[in-house]
Amino acid sequence: MYLPFRPVSKTHSSSSSSSTIATRMINCILLFAFIFLVYLFISASRLHSKNLIHACYSSSSDQDQSKSLITKIDHVVFGIGSSTNSWPARREYVKLWWDAQKMRGCVFVDRPLPSSENHTDSSDLLPPVCISQDTSRFRYTWSGGDRNAIRIARCVLETVTLFNASSEEVRWYVFGDDDTIFIPENLARTLSKYDHTSWHYIGSSSEIYEQNSVFGHNMAFGGGGFALSSSLANVLARNFDSCIERYPHLYGGDSRVHVCVLELGVELSREPGFHQFDVRGNALGILTSHSTRPLVSLHHMAHIDPIFPNSTTFSAVRHLFSAVELDPLRIFQLSVCYDRWYSWTISVSWGYTVQIDSRHLLLTDALRTQETFQPWQNSGGLASVYTFNTREIHPDPCQRPVTFYMQHVSSSPHNGTIISVYKQAYENCTYDPITSPRKIKEIRVFSNRLDLDIRQLQQIF
């Protein structure tokens, strides 16, 4: 029994040894696998960190580059077309928006101002006055037109000539009439969307279909103002006189600028914040349905009713600027909300009005422009066709939305909250004291200053 036992014992010992070797081999394999996984993990971590650093660096670079592209108002040079006859009456409007400490430019008149009209007392509040060059050598053949259009067009050439050698950087040249009212911060923000080193021609067309058909659907109307990137303006200036000689039959200065820009292969970049305002009467409907893009300019204010009741045209615009100074990007921006209890539609055009319609309006209807105004000409046909959607207003003023006009705006010194107060315009109407919004005398709107960066501005259509 002993001998048989030894082979069994010997066989067991061999199996144990083999098992031990196999276990060690498995452990080694597992160890190598673990080391390999650790190596992969560390390598991936390093790669991720490197990519993260690169991403952060790129993001930082993009932010720095974005900041460097932000246009400030001192990057802009203005050319304002005027005349000796019109400037004394219109310069008060320019005072509302001009900042002599930050802005550069010139007002171009046809001849020297009389000594009685010299504005030396306002030299710190107005741009300098420049005398336009002689344009008698250019032909003008539009029957019944004004050949001053050539002089106004050449404001582009003369402005660029005056400032292209400036020691301070010029990114944009902006042109308008002496009754064009600019919102400087909104202008600078809007131009920041574009690369001034590329060729850009920026503005907007008329509100009237016929005006656009006659003068050009893709032309920036000069009353609303337009902007030329410095790179484009310098090339345009070198070719401008030879260009306008080919177009004596055109009506206005803006038509000449448009066609000369078009010859260089540049088309209009449309920004609806520039307002030609070819309308008359009560502009409430247009102003309360303003585009979500920032308000850049207003024109023809003397040809419409004062935008605030019981006010003159000038004092109404000055009153509007009390809101512009606190929150320029939000001015006229429309917000629509609904009151379920009374079934009201409430429309807030910040800094201007709050309107309450005593019924629920679909948003698409609430955004349509109320036709409170008349076209520039009452000749009918296309002269009465607008380039935007409108909705008729009720012939009875008491059946129209109740309008509350901005009375004053203030900013809290503690948290910066802006409080705008709106009071109801008087209408001799009877109303139901329970359901009518006419029982409300005052509305207060609380907001924070709107501050959009370039990317946000580019996303607004």
At 438-458, the pLDDT tens digits run 989 999 999 999 998 888 888
Inform me whether the pLDDT recorded for 20 exceeds 60.
no
Neighbours of 441 (CB within 10 A): 8
One-letter identity of residue 70? I
The reply to whether 105 falls in a domain is yes
pLDDT at residue 167 in the model: 81
pLDDT at residue 23 in the model: 62
- What gap in Å lies between CA 445 and CA 418, rounded to an integer? 8
Cβ atoms of residues 208 and 385 within 8 Å:
yes
* Nearest Cα residue to 313 out of 325, 298, 330, 326: 298
Task: Read off the pLDDT band of 53 (50, 70, 90).
Answer: very low
Do 143 and 62 belong to one domain? no
Q: Which residue has the higher pLDDT, 414 or 172?
A: 172
The reply to whether 424 falls in a domain is yes
Inform me whether the pLDDT recorded for 51 exceeds 80.
no
Do 148 and 165 belong to one domain? yes
Q: What is the mean pLDDT of residues 111-115?
A: 88
- What gap in Å lies between CA 171 and CA 187, rounded to an integer? 13
Q: Which residue has the higher pLDDT, 427 or 181?
A: 181
Burial of 421 (0-12, 13-18, 19+ CB in 10 A): middle
- What gap in Å lies between CA 410 and CA 421, rounded to an integer? 9
Do 142 and 31 belong to one domain? no
The reply to whether 155 falls in a domain is yes
Inform me whether the pLDDT recorded for 348 exceeds 70.
yes
pLDDT at residue 300 in the model: 94
pLDDT at residue 3 in the model: 31
Do 448 and 322 belong to one domain? yes
Inform me whether the pLDDT recorded for 425 exceeds 60.
yes
Give the phi and the psi of residue 334 in degrees, each rounded to 5: -95, 130
The reply to whether 5 falls in a domain is no
Query: Tell me, what CATH number does 129's domain have?
Result: 3.90.550.50
CA dist 366 → 62, 357, 427 (Å):
39, 9, 22
pLDDT at residue 414 in the model: 87
Task: Read off the pLDDT band of 29 (50, 70, 90).
Answer: low
Do 223 and 326 belong to one domain? no
Residue where one domain finishes, among candidates 248, 276, 304 = 276
The pTM for the full model equals 0.84
How many structural domains are present in the chain?
3
Inform me whether the pLDDT recorded for 310 exceeds 80.
yes
Task: Read off the pLDDT band of 168 (50, 70, 90).
Answer: confident
Q: Which residue has the higher pLDDT, 27 or 1?
A: 27
Do 33 and 100 belong to one domain? no
Inform me whether the pLDDT recorded for 80 exceeds 90.
yes
Residue where one domain finishes, among candidates 276, 301, 332 = 276
The reply to whether 183 falls in a domain is yes
Do 101 and 205 belong to one domain? yes
Do 37 and 181 belong to one domain? no
Do 56 and 125 belong to one domain? no
pLDDT at residue 455 in the model: 84
Q: What is the mean pLDDT of residues 195-201?
A: 97
The reply to whether 436 falls in a domain is yes
Q: What is the mean pLDDT of residues 68-74?
A: 86
pLDDT at residue 77 in the model: 98
Residue where one domain finishes, among candidates 54, 69, 84 = 69
Q: Is 263 helix (H, G, I), strand (E, B) or coil?
A: helix
Q: What is the mean pLDDT of residues 60-80?
A: 76
Do 41 and 78 belong to one domain? no
pLDDT at residue 123 in the model: 63
One-letter identity of residue 114? P
Task: Read off the pLDDT band of 285 (50, 70, 90).
Answer: very high
Inform me whether the pLDDT recorded for 47 exceeds 50.
no
Q: What is the mean pLDDT of residues 352-376?
A: 95
Do 335 and 451 belong to one domain? yes
Return mean pLDDT, the chain: 87
Cβ atoms of residues 267 and 184 within 8 Å:
no
pLDDT at residue 60 in the model: 47
**pLDDT tens track for 130-165:** 999 999 999 999 999 999 999 999 999 999 999 988
- H/E/C letters for each residue in 140-190? CCCCCCCCHHHHHHCHHHHHHHHHCCCCCCCCEEEEEECCCEECHHHHHHH
The reply to whether 287 falls in a domain is no
Q: Which residue has the higher pLDDT, 248 or 43?
A: 248
pLDDT at residue 163 in the model: 95
Please report, rounded to a whole number, the percentage of residues in the chain having pLDDT higher than 70.
83
Inform me whether the pLDDT recorded for 83 exceeds 70.
yes
pLDDT at residue 454 in the model: 83
Task: Read off the pLDDT band of 429 (50, 70, 90).
Answer: confident
Cβ atoms of residues 211 and 278 within 8 Å:
yes
Inform me whether the pLDDT recorded for 67 exceeds 70.
no
| Domain housing 438 | 312-459
* Nearest Cα residue to 176 out of 105, 110, 232: 105
Q: What is the mean pLDDT of residues 57-72?
A: 59
Do 155 and 59 belong to one domain? no
Q: What is the mean pLDDT of residues 280-289?
A: 96
Task: Read off the pLDDT band of 82 (50, 70, 90).
Answer: very high
The reply to whether 294 falls in a domain is no
| Signed CA dihedral, 131, 136, 138, 144: sign only | positive
Task: Read off the pLDDT band of 10 (50, 70, 90).
Answer: very low
**pLDDT tens track for 207-262:** 999 999 999 999 999 999 999 999 999 999 999 999 999 999 999 999 999 999 99
Q: Which residue has the higher pLDDT, 267 or 8?
A: 267
pLDDT at residue 461 in the model: 57
Inform me whether the pLDDT recorded for 362 exceeds 60.
yes
- What gap in Å lies between CA 125 and CA 99, rounded to an integer? 7
Task: Read off the pLDDT band of 56 (50, 70, 90).
Answer: very low
